[in-house]
Structure 1
């Protein structure tokens, strides 16, 4: 009977059972309805990505009625406010570019959906929507109606360590069983046993071998076929295409041999090939999971939070030591690290870190506040509901909202090389096959299969991920935390380093502070300290620590003007602390770092800061000047110019009185001149410059502040080792190139034997996982070696 393919999902449907709509065939009303939805909303170009890209919608009547329960919905949500809710759903059916396209265009299908982002590798979609316009249940029904039914289980919302896939384990077991039995049954053929074997049982055992090879060929190796099929459909050839082709050719050739009595075929080689390839994949996955484990649980953000003890003392503690029931102090511009309840009277929370929306949301005492929000305004207190979720903070840091354009367009070394690898191998295999056909047909098939297997670029593809993964882990142990592995390759290309001054090359922990002006009363000093309590600027923190202890008093109308100062009301006092311009004083230029004070409109005086530079600054800059152009940008006046000129190498550019927007423009101008720029700042006034630079590094001391646009966070204690990290990034890139060379050398040698017909497919299959183990061992040992040797030279 004639059949057609469904226009939406591609399933085969009998002609007399098809549903015709708009001159197109559909297998069911569900697929027809999805097509109508897309067509009505101007999304019919969905079908331009590939033929039949969709999925058959599932019948889910009543299945998600539990989403009417607000308590359950609250547990599923990542974020919840009056007009904004965010949920991350696992969509098992995500499989191609068209899936990504339609899921990221949900806002065109449903009013109330603001945005949606797909994580293809995790098969997740993160959806931001307005609960006043659409419920989570309606959203789930929408996804199901277009063929992307989510998998929802409350048990899965606790972060768990991923282990080895059960399916891979089952496939490996089946492959081993088939391989072992096929080899055993092949012994009579190997030893050319005649008489009893030849007369009665040769045919039986050959067909038994054929039967035993089927589970291995059809089930154990199925992942390679599916991957290759999807790769071909998408128009991009991945590394599984030659493997799948080699397996299919070997199976067909072996079946023909048995049917026509030419021999027992290559089923022993086929089953062995599948087993050793899966063994190599198991090794890869175990190694990858180990690196992921190290990354997930060791690379904590080096930020601290201020915890209020039962005795009302304010102590700094690591973010990952926070637990439910603790009371935290959150200053202006600090990140809220955990979910909690607001204790203070009121505040405004900027959730742009989470939602991308920059309008602060007002909160009152007793309201729930979510991790990832940035507190704006006077200092607040909160009670912790849940302990810190490192995975959630990492997710926020890696939010696509803050992905740089240059990172999106950046091509890694692996991308550049692998683009041409698979087509070249297929061309070589076919050309060699044709050549051997004119010499020996049997050898032609053997050579063709051996080339496809021995040239598997697994080792090539693993070189960069395992090198960079290990480097990320080692840097993390040394308190330098990078957003992703791509940053390492970008660091290796840096030629210009730009440093902020205050809080970056100067330390917040050491200061020589003096006061000049009208003598302040004890009450006025207490007022100053209470106002400074809400600010995170390095000078504010140093002055706060310098002033004597006092009683905590509530601040009203707190405001911090970036790059200028802070102001607020405390009781009968209206206080301004900052630059001379900020306190409305026309004072002559000063060559010192000053913080001016005005109380109730009267200028009181200034605190003079004799900056304490970080230990090892002079030697660090001397070392860096050999390989990099050095620039200093400061929002302060030129009072430190002479001291810095004596301390830093000749040729270091010094620029003072730089506003945040001027710092950004300075970076942009350097890039226009062809420089690859790394900006190192404290993450406060430098957010724009950090985002503009090729690599932005935020220095973290004992404050809960970092920029979402930064590429890395460096613990202040490791500042003197900056050259070590830059050198290590270059060595990491060198390691990748060496491993590429080693992998290509392996391929060249293996191919030379395969083309000459001197390498069997089974031998190629054994060599493949061995090459993977060799490469992974090489990059691990080399990167660890460089980590130790560079450290000694710094």
Structure 2
């Protein structure tokens, strides 16, 4: 019978079973239905990405009825609020760009789906939807109907790793078995052992070698044929095409040699080639797994959260030390790092980081709080339900909403080389083959195969990701935590460094505080202490620690105006703490000192004067940076300490005072309009806008849980003096990438020169290929570690 391919899934269609719709052939009603769905929703461009990219939908009637059970659904959801549910589903069929495209356009197929994001590496789609318009069962049925049935297992759903795929190991084992035995059977003919290799047995052993080569050719190398075929169908040439072509050519050539008694063929070289190619692939796979492991391991946040101990005292602990059952104190603007139960009376939670919805949600005592929300208002207490999810916080931090557009030059180089590499390689191979075929047939086939193998760009492709992955790991150990690898490139381009003053170049730990004004009673100190308890501003935290311990009382009203101050109501008293302008008290203009003013029930009481202590190593850091960078100190405080800073810092340092948060952002924007690449270093609270606007924004973390998703990195405050090292190291990282690019290209040029002249056999080329990858990985690792040991 005549056969053709299904327009949707690509499977063979027997004419007797063919279903024709819209002048297209389908193998079954399911594939036709999927096409109809896409057609009705104007999504037929799905088929433009790749020919026949879909899968045949399966009959799943009744299979997902268990999703009607709300208790089961709640276990699968990673976020659950009144109008927003979020779930991550594992989709085994995800395999190409068209899969990603259709899965990220689910909102066009199902009302209620807000967004859907695909993690191609993990084959997962993260769906945000409204429970008022749809439900998880409908979404799962939709995915199944278009050929992307999710895999749902309640037992393994929270497991970090899927089942281990050992197929590559099996293929390597089969290839090695075939390679070893063929080499053994080929030795007599290699060494022309006439006593054993007599004429009547030669044919038998040659055909035995042919039989032993079949498992390696059809099983071990099958992945290369499939990849090459898909690449050709999608009209995009990948590196598996020359590899598959080389293997097929060697097999056909060797079979012809045996069949017509021209010689023993190259089955040993072919099986050796497959074996060493698969070894190279295994090494590459292990390399990427290593990178993923290191990134996951070091991508936690070095932020702290306040734990309430059994005796009622408060202690700042790292977020990854939080355990189930702990009681946490969450201040205004703090991120909720874990799922928990609200123990306080009420609060407002901003889930815009998670859902994109800016409207705060009111929570009452006993309600569940989800990780990722930002607490607004007075201080609250919560009980922890689960330990902190580092991967979830990383996902939140890396949300596409907060990504900055950057020029990824190293990716452009890699992509450009890969795009033109395969066509150029094929042309060179065929030209060389055409030249040698008129001189020596055997050499022609060897040259053709060796060229296809030796020039594999695997090492070239690994250069940038492995270098930057290794750099991320090293600087993570040194307590600078970057959002992703692209930040390293941006750091390398920086020419202007802008510092906030309070909480950035000053330290919270050694500040001298004095009080000026009418003496405060114990009752008034109690009001101040409990008002300050809810604030995360650096001056608030220092003053809170300075005031003696007081009894904790409930705050009925709390409002913090960023850059100005705090207003609170406690037991009928109205308390205002902040700048002189906020309290409308103007004495500060004559003293030019950093002060926090106090007002209780509209009566001005006095002010706390801060004699700032600057961070250790500040003068040396600025001295070193001034040699290569434009330096700016951008402060929201008055210019009371300008003379001190002018004496401490280099003369070319720009000092700007009395800057509100919006003015800081405008200042950064103005620098960028002048062509500057700006690194902004701040405390993450008043500087959120400036951090977002800058080319690279780094937030200093001391002992407060202030999370700014707009920042590109978080620096442990103890490593402040090493900022110069991190900037220099980022430049050296990009230098390492360029050097390894050069090394990889040099390897290819040398290898090809030997291959073209017929001085490189295919088996040697197959051995050299993974060795070149090992060489590049070793080179970037050694260079990254050497640069890490260099001092600024």
Aligned to 1:301: 301
Instruction: Tell me how far apart the structure 1 counterparts of residues 52 and 163 of structure 2 sit (CA, whole Å).
Output: 34
Q: Give the total of aligned pairs.
A: 791
Pair 1:507-2:507 in alignment: yes
Instruction: Tell me how far apart the structure 1 counterparts of residues 505 and 105 of structure 2 sit (CA, whole Å).
Output: 46
Aligned to 2:649: 648
Instruction: Tell me how far apart the structure 2 counterparts of residues 601 and 732 of structure 1 sit (CA, whole Å).
Output: 57
Check conservation: 2:298, 2:481, Cα contact below 8 A.
Answer: no
Aligned to 1:241: 241
- Cα-Cα RMSD: 1.9
Check conservation: 1:299, 1:473, Cα contact below 8 A.
Answer: no
Check conservation: 2:736, 2:784, Cα contact below 8 A.
Answer: yes
Aligned to 1:153: 153
Instruction: Tell me how far apart the structure 1 counterparts of residues 402 and 26 of structure 2 sit (CA, whole Å).
Output: 41
SS for the counterpart of 2:117 is strand
Q: Using a 3 Å threshold, how does the CA distance of structure 1 residues 660 and 232 change in structure 2: closer, same or farther?
A: farther
State the shift of 1:135 in Å. 1.4
Aligned to 1:662: 663
Pair 1:52-2:52 in alignment: yes
Q: Using a 3 Å threshold, how does the CA distance of structure 1 residues 314 and 413 change in structure 2: closer, same or farther?
A: farther
Pair 1:537-2:537 in alignment: yes
State the shift of 1:683 in Å. 1.0
Instruction: Tell me how far apart the structure 2 counterparts of residues 409 and 35 of structure 1 sit (CA, whole Å).
Output: 39
Check conservation: 1:687, 1:707, Cα contact below 8 A.
Answer: yes
Q: Using a 3 Å threshold, how does the CA distance of structure 1 residues 354 and 769 change in structure 2: closer, same or farther?
A: same
Q: Using a 3 Å threshold, how does the CA distance of structure 1 residues 98 and 583 change in structure 2: closer, same or farther?
A: same
Aligned to 1:129: 129
State the shift of 1:547 in Å. 1.0
SS for the counterpart of 1:44 is coil
Aligned to 1:592: 593
Q: Using a 3 Å threshold, how does the CA distance of structure 1 residues 373 and 622 change in structure 2: closer, same or farther?
A: same
Instruction: Tell me how far apart the structure 1 counterparts of residues 633 and 711 of structure 2 sit (CA, whole Å).
Output: 18
State the shift of 1:308 in Å. 0.4
Aligned to 1:734: 735
Check conservation: 1:340, 1:370, Cα contact below 8 A.
Answer: yes
Check conservation: 1:518, 1:605, Cα contact below 8 A.
Answer: yes
State the shift of 1:626 in Å. 0.8
Aligned to 1:34: 34
Q: Any idea what the Cα deviations from partners look like across 1:260-285, whole Å, max 9, x if unmatched? A: 33222211111111111221222233
Check conservation: 1:412, 1:489, Cα contact below 8 A.
Answer: no
Q: Any idea what the Cα deviations from partners look like across 1:742-769, whole Å, max 9, x if unmatched? A: 2222211111110100100000011111
Q: Using a 3 Å threshold, how does the CA distance of structure 1 residues 710 and 588 change in structure 2: closer, same or farther?
A: closer
Bigger shift: 592-601 or 475-484? 592-601
State the shift of 1:6 in Å. 1.4
State the shift of 1:49 in Å. 2.4
Q: Using a 3 Å threshold, how does the CA distance of structure 1 residues 349 and 164 change in structure 2: closer, same or farther?
A: same
State the shift of 1:75 in Å. 1.5
Instruction: Tell me how far apart the structure 2 counterparts of residues 232 and 601 of structure 1 sit (CA, whole Å).
Output: 78
Instruction: Tell me how far apart the structure 1 counterparts of residues 518 and 364 of structure 2 sit (CA, whole Å).
Output: 39
TM alignment of 1:219-298, pairs within 5 A = 219-298=219-298
State the shift of 1:254 in Å. 2.1
Pair 1:101-2:101 in alignment: yes
Aligned to 1:450: 450
Aligned to 1:549: 549
Q: Using a 3 Å threshold, how does the CA distance of structure 1 residues 128 and 160 change in structure 2: closer, same or farther?
A: closer
Q: Any idea what the Cα deviations from partners look like across 1:644-664, whole Å, max 9, x if unmatched? A: 111111111112222222222
Aligned to 1:604: 605
TM alignment of 1:753-768, pairs within 5 A = 753-768=754-769
Check conservation: 1:54, 1:147, Cα contact below 8 A.
Answer: yes
State the shift of 1:449 in Å. 1.0
Bigger shift: 185-194 or 86-95? 185-194
Q: Any idea what the Cα deviations from partners look like across 1:131-188, whole Å, max 9, x if unmatched? A: 2221111111100100111111223333446897412211111111111112112223
Check conservation: 1:739, 1:779, Cα contact below 8 A.
Answer: yes
Bigger shift: 606-615 or 250-259? 250-259
Instruction: Tell me how far apart the structure 1 counterparts of residues 76 and 217 of structure 2 sit (CA, whole Å).
Output: 41
Q: Any idea what the Cα deviations from partners look like across 1:248-305, whole Å, max 9, x if unmatched? A: 2222222222333322221111111111122122223334333433332344311111
Bigger shift: 157-166 or 204-213? 157-166
Q: Any idea what the Cα deviations from partners look like across 1:673-716, whole Å, max 9, x if unmatched? A: 22221111111122222122221111111111121121111100
Check conservation: 2:188, 2:196, Cα contact below 8 A.
Answer: no
Aligned to 1:684: 685
Pair 1:348-2:368 in alignment: no
Q: Using a 3 Å threshold, how does the CA distance of structure 1 residues 440 and 51 change in structure 2: closer, same or farther?
A: same
Q: Any idea what the Cα deviations from partners look like across 1:304-357, whole Å, max 9, x if unmatched? A: 111000100001111111111110101111111111111111111111222222
Q: Any idea what the Cα deviations from partners look like across 1:715-759, whole Å, max 9, x if unmatched? A: 000010111111111111222222222222221111111010010
Instruction: Tell me how far apart the structure 2 counterparts of residues 157 and 350 of structure 1 sit (CA, whole Å).
Output: 28
TM alignment of 1:433-582, pairs within 5 A = 433-582=433-582
Instruction: Tell me how far apart the structure 2 counterparts of residues 313 and 497 of structure 1 sit (CA, whole Å).
Output: 39
Q: Using a 3 Å threshold, how does the CA distance of structure 1 residues 614 and 237 change in structure 2: closer, same or farther?
A: farther
Q: Any idea what the Cα deviations from partners look like across 1:44-85, whole Å, max 9, x if unmatched? A: 222232322222111112222222222221111111112211
TM alignment of 1:152-231, pairs within 5 A = 152-160=152-160, 165-194=165-194, 197-231=197-231
Aligned to 2:384: 384
Q: Using a 3 Å threshold, how does the CA distance of structure 1 residues 226 and 213 change in structure 2: closer, same or farther?
A: same
Pair 1:23-2:23 in alignment: yes
Instruction: Tell me how far apart the structure 1 counterparts of residues 187 and 723 of structure 2 sit (CA, whole Å).
Output: 62
Check conservation: 2:113, 2:130, Cα contact below 8 A.
Answer: yes
Bigger shift: 315-324 or 163-172? 163-172
Pair 1:313-2:308 in alignment: no
SS for the counterpart of 1:333 is coil
Aligned to 2:326: 326
Instruction: Tell me how far apart the structure 2 counterparts of residues 571 and 484 of structure 1 sit (CA, whole Å).
Output: 48
Bigger shift: 275-284 or 314-323? 275-284
Pair 1:63-2:101 in alignment: no
State the shift of 1:37 in Å. 0.9
Bigger shift: 140-149 or 457-466? 457-466
Bigger shift: 305-314 or 594-603? 594-603
Check conservation: 1:86, 1:129, Cα contact below 8 A.
Answer: yes
Q: Using a 3 Å threshold, how does the CA distance of structure 1 residues 668 and 434 change in structure 2: closer, same or farther?
A: farther
**TM-score, normalised on structure 1?**
0.96
Instruction: Tell me how far apart the structure 2 counterparts of residues 54 and 502 of structure 1 sit (CA, whole Å).
Output: 57
State the shift of 1:412 in Å. 5.4
Check conservation: 2:410, 2:464, Cα contact below 8 A.
Answer: no
Bigger shift: 305-314 or 346-355? 346-355
Bigger shift: 318-327 or 203-212? 203-212
Instruction: Tell me how far apart the structure 2 counterparts of residues 422 and 662 of structure 1 sit (CA, whole Å).
Output: 52
Q: Any idea what the Cα deviations from partners look like across 1:541-563, whole Å, max 9, x if unmatched? A: 11111111101111122111111
Pair 1:721-2:722 in alignment: yes
Instruction: Tell me how far apart the structure 1 counterparts of residues 417 and 679 of structure 2 sit (CA, whole Å).
Output: 26
Check conservation: 2:406, 2:490, Cα contact below 8 A.
Answer: no
Q: Using a 3 Å threshold, how does the CA distance of structure 1 residues 653 and 56 change in structure 2: closer, same or farther?
A: same
Instruction: Tell me how far apart the structure 1 counterparts of residues 376 and 16 of structure 2 sit (CA, whole Å).
Output: 66
Aligned to 1:8: 8
Check conservation: 2:408, 2:486, Cα contact below 8 A.
Answer: no
Instruction: Tell me how far apart the structure 1 counterparts of residues 223 and 155 of structure 2 sit (CA, whole Å).
Output: 28
Check conservation: 2:299, 2:394, Cα contact below 8 A.
Answer: no
Bigger shift: 564-573 or 281-290? 281-290
Check conservation: 2:532, 2:540, Cα contact below 8 A.
Answer: yes
Q: Using a 3 Å threshold, how does the CA distance of structure 1 residues 235 and 670 change in structure 2: closer, same or farther?
A: farther
State the shift of 1:490 in Å. 1.9
Q: Using a 3 Å threshold, how does the CA distance of structure 1 residues 536 and 460 change in structure 2: closer, same or farther?
A: same
Instruction: Tell me how far apart the structure 2 counterparts of residues 33 and 213 of structure 1 sit (CA, whole Å).
Output: 44
SS for the counterpart of 2:580 is coil
SS for the counterpart of 2:155 is helix
Instruction: Tell me how far apart the structure 1 counterparts of residues 376 and 729 of structure 2 sit (CA, whole Å).
Output: 38
Check conservation: 1:162, 1:289, Cα contact below 8 A.
Answer: no
Q: Any idea what the Cα deviations from partners look like across 1:19-40, whole Å, max 9, x if unmatched? A: 1112221111111111111111
Instruction: Tell me how far apart the structure 1 counterparts of residues 486 and 552 of structure 2 sit (CA, whole Å).
Output: 46
State the shift of 1:407 in Å. 6.3
State the shift of 1:422 in Å. 3.0
